[in-house]
Structure 1
Amino acid sequence: MTRATTPGTDPAGGGAVAPSPGAAVSVRALRRTFRTGGRRRGADTGERVALQGIDLDIAEGEVHGLLGPNGAGKTTLCKILSTVLLPSSGSVHVLGHDVAADPGAVRPLIGIVFGGERGLYDRLTARQNLVYWASLYGMSGRRLATRSAELLEQLGLGAHADDRVERFSRGMKQRLHLARGLVHDPQVVLLDEPTAGMDPVSAHGFRDLVTGLRAEGRTVLVTTHDMGEAEAICDRVTLINRGTVVASATPAELGAWVAESERVVARDVPPGVLARLTGLMDVEVVPADAQGLTVLRVGPGGDTSAVLQLLVGAGVRELSTSQPGLEEVYLRLIGRRGMEVSR
């Protein structure tokens, strides 16, 4: 059994843990467990560990990506940051306030933006949705009306402010989600899979909105499975798997960790040549996509020049090489563990 520890304290018994200076979010030795089994007599009442010893700092004004497979602990961490869940042990501070000891001080400072269809009332208009959510934060009168109108205009929904949400496209709903999360002017914004299900045009527009949040000085935490999205908008990313941090750095720094590897992309590689490439040392071949592009990952034990010579000798004329991107880093560090479902 896990030794009981007061939330917001050092599990080693060292007393209260102070947040890191300059950090909007400071997480230390965070652990969260859940009881398993039913309530009936004789049922298994063991523990499942969702987070085990997480350490994480997010600087003020930073866009930080949280990446990991299903069951990695991303949602649990966001629920703790938003005071929905308490830590089992360790400490979490948001702008200097302990989420366990002082949740009332934390809640006005954070905005939560969900992906998908959750959290909106389809039979209400966009303006009515914002008025409802703003009233929960104690806003009223002219301040509420002005803030709602400003956000709807800023997010491109001004012309649809009095339309029912049930008529909105997926991209419009996501913009309204963002307006709802910003209506009380939070300093820290949690984006939970913000572009899930969006078409590419809407997703690109949403990334521009996140860039705007950074320009306003807000701190943004984004949970996502989209490697391209994380690489495009995040100042730093944290890879999490099975409740532990695998790595935390800028996308470029993570790429440098596996920079000894190279990525070769070739078009229309003959099947016989693919078989020969697969036999080369430390060369991983990703089957061609719908456009006929084959990706080859050449590890530190491989020979990129040998790969290129083989391709050119076989008549392949469309070739390019590059350093690995965030997706390759993710697969290298987490690997097939990301395909396993945590229990």
Structure 2
Amino acid sequence: MTDQFRDRPAIQAVDLTRTYNLRKGWLRPTFETVEAVRTVSFSVYPGETFGLLGPNGAGKTTTIKMLNTLLLPTSGTARVLGFDVAKDPVEVRRRIGYVFGGDKGLYDRLSANDNLRYFAELYGVPPREQRSRVHELLDKVGLSGRAHERVEGYSRGMRQRLHIARGLLHRPQVLFLDEPSLGLDPVAARELRRTVAELSGEGVTTVLTTHYMAEADELCDRIAIVDSGVIRALGTPDELKGSVARGTVVEATVRGADETHLSRLRDLPSVQGVAVTRTDGSETVLTVRGENGTEIHTQVVSALRGLRITRLTSREPTLEDAYVAIVGSGAEPGATDRKTSPEAAV
């Protein structure tokens, strides 16, 4: 991130809320109010890559759509580059790009070159700049050699790179990436991450939603973990990891574990949390977070006495461990950034 944490945010959300009224039944319909986003507040600074993580239905995409003017907030305010998303949507749209995962948004029977020329017209790119801008972006995303082929013959990874090129045509200062690597193979996902990292280096402010923890850890300067429409934690990847486990993570694959064994683990003095994953067979994977690597390793083995342990490893905590702990507990662990707290955003 360039000029880290400049004084004026590129994006500022204050108590954003979005509700929906769902109709149930036909003869005697009833209506239910669903809160997709509840009083979300945060700031994103120029040149920063900001991540929004959370389970399906957590409110990530709804938040992005409010920020890029596709949805009006039910309450609260948001400003992008100083413009209110509800009062000045045209000014906001001129300055942002939006890239989403999936196959929609491109014309299959047109070539990549023709797709970008068409969207350049829609985005108001001056005619004298269109050809050079399209060539520049196709080169940036690695599609120069396939520029004149129909998009219908493109792989998913190539389509996604073309989506990014489309979102950058008008040189946006803010780019929203909504699960851009969804369904990509590892090679295509790596190329996508490289492109996003280059954009950050060029000073583009990026908001990224993803389900891939390694991707968020590699790309994001700061991350907000969202669950049930609420921000549960906000901080750098290292702050989030440290908030749930400052020592060691022990993973044990066992057979025959029951609640008695889990209680023994949770009662250990150096244990901060235990996650349980059932496999398709009779094995259970226990992820134990705690302090003092050698000590906790010994304590876990002792607590699981009588069980068959087929695998036992120790490692440093990852962002995935932090995510599981925060979303699983439903409580904020305290890893917040003072500059982006609700008080600072007002």
Q: TM-score range by the shorter chain?
A: 0.7 to 0.9
2:314 is equivalent to residue 321 of structure 1 = yes
2:264·2:303 contact (CA, 8 Å) conserved in 1? no
C-alpha distance in 1 between matches for 2:202 and 2:258: 50
Aligned-partner SS, 1:65:
strand
Cα 1:230/1:306, change in 2 over 3 Å: same
Give 2:159's match in structure 1, choosing from 167, 173, 179: 173
Q: Which residue of 2 aligns with 1:52?
A: 38
Q: Deviations over 1:35-94 (max 9, x none)?
A: 222798963344221111110111111111101111111111111111111111111000
Q: Which residue of 2 aligns with 1:218?
A: 204
Alignment of 1:153-168 (within 5 A): 153-168=139-154
Aligned-partner SS, 1:281:
helix
Cα 1:262/1:277, change in 2 over 3 Å: farther
Q: Which moved more, 1:229-238 or 1:302-311?
A: 302-311
Q: Which residue of 2 aligns with 1:233?
A: 219
Give 2:47's match in structure 1, choosing from 61, 75, 79: 61
C-alpha distance in 2 between matches for 1:152 and 1:132: 14
Aligned-partner SS, 2:23:
coil
C-alpha distance in 2 between matches for 1:279 and 1:39: 44
1:127·1:161 contact (CA, 8 Å) conserved in 2? yes
C-alpha distance in 2 between matches for 1:151 and 1:162: 14
C-alpha distance in 1 between matches for 2:74 and 2:259: 52
1:278·1:284 contact (CA, 8 Å) conserved in 2? no
C-alpha distance in 2 between matches for 1:265 and 1:49: 36
Q: Which moved more, 1:234-243 or 1:300-309?
A: 300-309
C-alpha distance in 2 between matches for 1:231 and 1:220: 14
Question: What is the Cα deviation at residue 246 of structure 1?
Answer: 0.7
C-alpha distance in 1 between matches for 2:188 and 2:17: 36
Give 1:26's match in structure 2, choosing from 8, 12, 17: 12
Unaligned 5+ runs, structure 1: 1-19, 338-343
Amino acid at match of 2:124: G
Amino acid at match of 2:167: G
Alignment of 1:293-312 (within 5 A): 296-299=287-290, 303-307=296-300
Give 2:265's match in structure 1, choosing from 273, 276, 281: 281
Unaligned 5+ runs, structure 2: 1-5, 267-273, 331-346
Cα 1:307/1:215, change in 2 over 3 Å: same
Amino acid at match of 1:62: E
Question: What is the Cα deviation at residue 139 of structure 1?
Answer: 1.9
TM-score, length-scaled by structure 1: 0.81
Identity of aligned residues (%): 42
Give 1:263's match in structure 2, choosing from 234, 242, 249: 249
Alignment of 1:125-144 (within 5 A): 125-144=111-130
Amino acid at match of 2:288: R
Cα 1:213/1:41, change in 2 over 3 Å: same
Q: Deviations over 1:177-196 (max 9, x none)?
A: 00000011001000011000
Cα 1:293/1:43, change in 2 over 3 Å: closer
Alignment of 1:98-109 (within 5 A): 98-109=84-95
Cα 1:315/1:179, change in 2 over 3 Å: same
1:261·1:297 contact (CA, 8 Å) conserved in 2? no
Q: Which residue of 2 aligns with 1:120?
A: 106
C-alpha distance in 1 between matches for 2:260 and 2:34: 46
Q: Which moved more, 1:274-283 or 1:176-185?
A: 274-283
